[in-house]
Amino acid sequence: MSVPSISGFTFIRNGVELGFPFEASIRSLLPLVDEFVIAVGKSSDDTLERVRAIGDPKLRIIETLWNERMADRGFVYAQQKMIAQYACTGDWAFYLEGDELVHEAELERIRASVARHHANPEVEALVFDYFHFYGVPEQIATSPAWYRRECRLIRNTIRSYAPDGQYWLVTSRHRRPHYPRAALADAHIYHYGHVRKLAYMQQKVQQVSKYWGKEAPEHDYGRIDPLALEPFTGTHPAVIREWLATEAEQRFALNPAHQLTRRERKHRLSMKLERAFGWDLSHKHYKLVA
């Protein structure tokens, strides 16, 4: 039986200006994939030059121009995600966002999961458990507000598309689309978007607020329900450690003036129900079949 091929892909724009660890993200996945396609949007910083400087022959860069008149940022992200995915040639396509990494200790597990499920057409995607780092690298967010699992590897021989940057829908013969039928990858995605220095996060908030026609609020990691947080006791991928030392926040303090939002109160109740009944009430964009 031939070994299934895997394409990696992502999109990025202004990754330096917004503090994304996109170079570490790409490097973390390169040992697993046969090619890596990246759609690089026209930027006001040196994102494109930094991607080129990685210098790996597996990299294939597509230069793009974002539609600035599109107010729905989620749809623009979906467009860029699919530009990269449609250029992938592997049996499977592995999507990583610019602030997500895989751990070198789990690469063989991922490869084994692909090999195990490749011959089963019922499995359309592989689902990863998530570490959402929050505030500082030694802390993770664990409430149902944060998706605990998500598809990141999808079979590249089926019709799939992204309604936004986060998830996929699968359709065939013009039937009603469905969330991918999936199996567990037995591995994690390490998500670092919420440990960037506050200056980077404020820049992102200002950029997103501009598209929604709103005033940008001052970003404060401390405005969060403390019950949504837990200490991280594992190890970080090797390729992110320098970034964590220089580009991540190093101090975290809860804001004593923060009052729980209606959404946070709802998630507190959800966490009580989860503990009582063993449920997982986080949102899911997949259906487990294996």
Domain boundaries, the chain: 1-290
pLDDT grade, residue 209 (50/70/90)? Answer: low
- Whole-number pLDDT of residue 113: 97
pLDDT over 90 at 213, yes or no:
no
Average pLDDT over residues 183-196: 97
Mean pLDDT of 252-272: 96
pLDDT tens per residue, range 132-187:
999 999 999 999 999 999 999 999 999 999 988 889 999 987 789 999 999 999 99
Give the 3-state secondary structure of residue 44: coil
pLDDT given at position 236: 98
DSSP strands (E only) in the chain: 6-12, 35-41, 59-64, 92-95, 100-101, 125-134, 136-141, 149-155, 160-161, 169-170, 181-194, 229-231, 287-288
Query: How confident is the model over 84-91, as a mean pLDDT?
Result: 98
Instruction: Determine whether 281 is exposed, middle or buried from the number of CB atoms within 10 Å of its CB (0-12, 13-18, 19+).
Output: middle
The residue with tokens 């065939």 is 172
Residue 44 pLDDT greater than 80, yes or no:
yes
The whole-number pLDDT of residue 261 equals 96
The pLDDT of residue 68 is 82
Mean pLDDT of 255-265: 96
- Looking at the chain, the whole-number percentage of residues with pLDDT higher than 90 is 84
Over residues 238-255, mean pLDDT? 96
Q: Provide the mean pLDDT of the chain.
A: 94
Q: Tell the CATH topology of 1-290.
A: Spore Coat Polysaccharide Biosynthesis Protein SpsA; Chain A (3.90.550)
Tokens linked to 154: 């999808």
- Quick count: other Cβ atoms within 10 Å of Cβ 145? 18
- Residue 80 in this model has a pLDDT that exceeds 80: yes
pLDDT band at residue 208 using 50, 70 and 90 as cut-offs: low
Q: pLDDT band at 37, cuts 50/70/90?
A: very high
Q: Give the model's pLDDT for residue 74.
A: 80
- Rounded Cα–Cα distance for residues 205 and 192 (Å): 16
State the pLDDT confidence band at 252, using cuts at 50, 70 and 90. very high
β-strands 149-155, 125-134: how paired? antiparallel
> Is the model more confident about 2 or about 181?
181
**Is the per-residue pLDDT at 215 higher than 70?**
no
pLDDT of residue 212 exceeding 60: no
The CA–CA distances, whole Å, from 129 to 2, 97, 159, 240 equal 28, 15, 24, 19
Q: In this predicted structure, which of 62-71, 75-84, 173-182, 207-216 has the lowest mean pLDDT? A: 207-216
pLDDT for res 210 = 59
